[in-house]
Structure 1
Amino acid sequence: MKNQIFLYLFLFTALVCMYLFVSSGNMAEANMASIVKLKEEVGTLEDSLQQSELNLLEMQYFSLENNDDALAYYEHLNIEDLTRYITDKLLETNESKGDNPLIPYEGMENDFKINKIKILNHKWILADFSDGKYWGELLIGYELKDDLGVDFTLKEHLLYARSN
């Protein structure tokens, strides 16, 4: 009887060991498949990140901050953030009563005001304007003077047709 108990105990232990061996092999395969899948996702994300960085560099190509030649025109003025300074000066034109004086259209729903500004270089600005319902764009020339005054000159403009 004692021998049979040891035999059954040995068989039970052998079955448990075999079960653990097979299940650990399956778990190892599943983990390996997960690792391979995650590596593929990481590769895809790295490609996406690289493409996003290239897109960002492309978008920043026409900007005052990344144009050393344009910045050289104003280095003698010692303005810490030149783009912010010029943007603030342009947004000050919105403070006048009624339409912004740089916008050659009368507001139809409200007064036309400048919303977004992109400073291209040391001479030109792109700006978006709207009255809340109608919108358009401006190409503005500017000159930053030694006394830190800024003169803005409208070069081109367009008003988009409203679509329903």
Structure 2
Amino acid sequence: MYLFIFSLLLLVFQYVNSKNIIDKYEADIVKVKAKVAEKEQTIKTLEEQNFELSYFSIDRNEDAYNYFEALGYDTEQLIPAIVEGLYNMNDYEGEDHPMVPYVSTTDSKLLINKVRVMNHKWIVANFTDGALWGEIFLTYSIDENNDLKYKLVEYFLYPKLN
């Protein structure tokens, strides 16, 4: 009789313990699934924002790629060359940057920091000397010698706030 009662108590203990463990695991699974769903929604939102932000970028402009390919250019090499051409202008002598129509207000040179090639004709870039910031709008073309030509169209300098 004692053995039966002891066995019954042991079975009840194991059943309750196992049920608690399973309930805890199920609750953890529900929490993890909720977090995964939340993260997936965040990823989807960020992908949509990224698509919207990159709308005016040559990477998303099939017509611009077709334009270059119709002229026989390899876009995988051309686009980085266009950007690199502007960055190479940061290595200049004197006070006048070849593209930026301002003079540095500090001891450092004006440098182009970020470049966005928008399509097969337009570029937007920002520049700074460490104290002042501005942006420039450029057009570019490729001449018959396959040389890149940049033309400054518009520019502005943010006012310095104290």
With structure 2 as the length reference, what TM-score do the two structures score? 0.90
- For the pair 1:70 / 2:64, whether they are aligned, the reply is yes
CA gap of 1:48–1:79, structure 2 versus 1, over 3 A, is closer
Alignment partner, residue 26 of structure 2: 32
The letter for the 2-side match of 1:11 is I
The letter for the 1-side match of 2:81 is Y
Larger radius of gyration: 1
1:107-155 CA deviation, whole Å, 9 max, x = no partner?
0012211111000011110101011121111111111224221111111
With structure 1 as the length reference, what TM-score do the two structures score? 0.89
The letter for the 1-side match of 2:123 is I
Alignment partner, residue 104 of structure 2: 107
Deviation at 1:8, TM superposition (A): 2.5
- Contact conserved, 2:115 with 2:126, CA < 8 A, in 1? yes
Alignment partner, residue 76 of structure 2: 80
Bigger mean CA deviation after superposition, 12-21 or 122-131: 12-21
Question: Which segments of 5 or more consecutive residues in structure 1 lack a partner in the other structure?
Answer: 1-6
The letter for the 2-side match of 1:123 is K
Q: Residue 125 of structure 2 aligns to a residue in which SS?
A: strand
The letter for the 2-side match of 1:94 is N
Q: How many residues align?
A: 158
Deviation at 1:160, TM superposition (A): 0.9
Alignment partner, residue 149 of structure 2: 151
CA gap of 1:79–1:23, structure 2 versus 1, over 3 A, is closer
- Contact conserved, 1:140 with 1:152, CA < 8 A, in 2? yes
Overall identity of the aligned pairs, in %? 35
Q: How is 1:6-155 mapped onto 2 (pairs within 5 angstroms)?
A: 7-75=1-69, 76-98=72-94, 99-109=96-106, 110-155=108-153
- Contact conserved, 1:125 with 1:139, CA < 8 A, in 2? yes
1:41-84 CA deviation, whole Å, 9 max, x = no partner?
11111111111111111122111122121122221123533220
Structure 1: 4+ residue segments shifted above 3 A: none
- Contact conserved, 2:141 with 2:149, CA < 8 A, in 1? yes
1:1-30 CA deviation, whole Å, 9 max, x = no partner?
xxxxxx323222221111110111111111
Give me the whole-angstrom Cα distance separating, in 2, the residues matched to 1:91 and 1:61. 23
CA RMSD of aligned residues (A): 1.5
Question: Which segments of 5 or more consecutive residues in structure 2 lack a partner in the other structure?
Answer: none
